[in-house]
Each structure stands twice: as structure tokens, then as C-alpha cells.
Structure 1
Amino acid sequence: MAQTDIATDETNRLIASNKVEGTTVYNAQREKLGSIYNFMVEKRSGKVEYAVLQFGGLFGLGSDYYPLPWDVLTYDTDQGGYVVNLDKSVLEQAPRYAGDSEPAFDRNYGREVYGHYGVDYPY
């Protein structure tokens, strides 16, 4: 397969990683919470464990990064972005990190993140 043949756009059920990064995230009240900075994939299973939400700051400077369990996000075609059922006050209390202090993303951290959102940590 030639490099130019690699799918970089959406299909009926799939989306390329470069299209996910930068996608806006809204809450249920249609307020913009931030955007997807990247996502973390479990190496062995290939499943997305977290979507990392970039929130706060100005033009990306001084932003914090909030790992969200992938399963709390729902893609809304009408809004052209992901929706998470929480408000900013819950997000502001969530586990987060600054751009220069990425966490270990180990099982203890995973349980902390998933627990904050009331989701069982499956790994």
C-alpha cells in the first residue's frame, strides 16, 4: 500500500487519529470545554484508554491536560465534536497535568482518573 493510499479521513465507523486531535469537546449544555489534544492507546489491546482534553489557557499556552476515559465521550455529528456529560466544575476538579509534567499513566493513575468520572477501570 502506497503512503498516499492510507486513510486519513472518516469512514462510516472509523476516524483517523489526526482527525480526532483538535476536535472540540462539549458538555451536555453545548458549552465548549476544550479540544482533544491526543489520545492514549493501550499497547497490547490497541484500545483507546484516554482522550486527553486540552482545557484552559490562551491559544494553548498555560493549558492543562485532562485525561478522560474514552467511554465517557460520545461523538455528536450535529455539533461536529465529542460530548461528555459533565459540567466545567466537575472538570476543574478532575485529575490533570501541565504540559511539562505528564503523569506515569500507570494502573494507579488510571484508577484515579476513571474513579473521578465514576467509571470502572478495565485495565
Structure 2
Amino acid sequence: MDIDQETTALIAASKVQGTEVYNSAGESLGSIHDLMIDKVSGNVAYAIMSFGGFLGIGNSYHPLPWSLLQYDTNKGGYVVNLDKSQLEGAPSYDVGVEPDWDDPEYETEIHDYYGVGPYWGAPRSTHPASPLP
């Protein structure tokens, strides 16, 4: 399979990058900048959405738990049940500034904000990337 192809069930990460993200009202919220993938399970943990700004200036990145996104074939993009005001107060980081992904509190803050369970599906201390107690 060519890296830029997709099937009915699979898509190359390079094709996900740049895909629009809409809210349930059909408004464009941003686009997928990148994906964060759990090294052990291989599951997508977060879609990093580029949000705000004008012509790439003033953009911020919002890690969205992958479980929030639903692909809509009619829109050709992902839909989340969020509005712009919810994203303005959401965990985010500026372009050129990486969050501390090794800090369990950062990921917990993301999941708590959106009210969804963590992708690792167990208490944080048993997640492979977290330090053992």
C-alpha cells in the first residue's frame, strides 16, 4: 500500500494531518496537525489540532483525546462535540513549545477537561509510560 493511500478501514497518518475538524454545528474549528500514538499498544492517543490564529500566526495546538473525534464522510473531516469557547479554555500549547508528555498530570488534565476516560484504560500508575510507584 502506498503511504498516501487509504482503504475503507485504514488511513495513512500523512492523510490525517491537515484534515479539518468541525463541531457538531458544522463550523470549522481547525485541522489535525499531528497524532500522538501510544508506543506499546499502537493506538492513537491524541489528535493534535491546530486552532485559532490567522495564516498560521497565533495558532495554538490542542491535544484532543482520539475518542472525541468521529470521522464524517460527508464533511471529509472529523467532528467533535465542542464549540470554540470550550476550546479557548482547553489544555493547549503554543507553536514551538512542546508540553511535558512525560508528566502524568498533563495527560490527566486533558482527559479531565474533556470528561473522557484515558486511552490507557487503567489507573495511570499502570500505564507503560508512567513511572512505577
1:65 to 55, 61, 67: 61
Aligned to 1:25: 21
Cα-to-partner distance string for 1:94-121 (whole Å, 9 max, x where unaligned): 0000012110123221110011100112
Return 5+ residue gaps in structure 1 as ranges. none
Check whether the contact 2:62–2:90 (CA below 8 A) recurs between aligned residues.
yes
Tell me, yes or no, if structure 1 residue 83 matches structure 2 residue 79: yes
Aligned to 2:10: 14
Tell me, yes or no, if structure 1 residue 34 matches structure 2 residue 26: no
CA distance in 2, matches of 1:60, 1:9: 27
CA distance in 2, matches of 1:92, 1:54: 12
Aligned to 1:47: 43
Tell me, yes or no, if structure 1 residue 114 matches structure 2 residue 108: no
Q: What amino acid is aligned across from residue 19 of structure 2 in structure 1?
A: T
CA distance in 2, matches of 1:58, 1:103: 23
Q: What amino acid is aligned across from residue 82 of structure 2 in structure 1?
A: L
3-state SS, counterpart of residue 110 of structure 1: helix
Aligned to 2:131: none
Check whether the contact 2:45–2:119 (CA below 8 A) recurs between aligned residues.
no
Deviates more, 1:57-66 or 1:89-98: 57-66
Shift of 1:13: 0.3
Root-mean-square deviation (CA), in Å?
A: 1.1
CA distance in 1, matches of 2:75, 2:100: 33
3-state SS, counterpart of residue 62 of structure 2: strand
Equivalences, count: 119
Deviates more, 1:15-24 or 1:54-63: 54-63
3-state SS, counterpart of residue 40 of structure 1: strand
Aligned to 1:95: 91
Check whether the contact 2:60–2:93 (CA below 8 A) recurs between aligned residues.
yes
Q: Percent of aligned pairs with the same residue?
A: 51
Check whether the contact 2:30–2:49 (CA below 8 A) recurs between aligned residues.
yes
Return 5+ residue gaps in structure 2 as ranges. 121-133
Shift of 1:45: 1.1
CA distance in 2, matches of 1:7, 1:22: 15
CA distance in 2, matches of 1:122, 1:48: 8
The normalised TM-score by structure 2 is 0.85
CA distance in 2, matches of 1:122, 1:55: 22
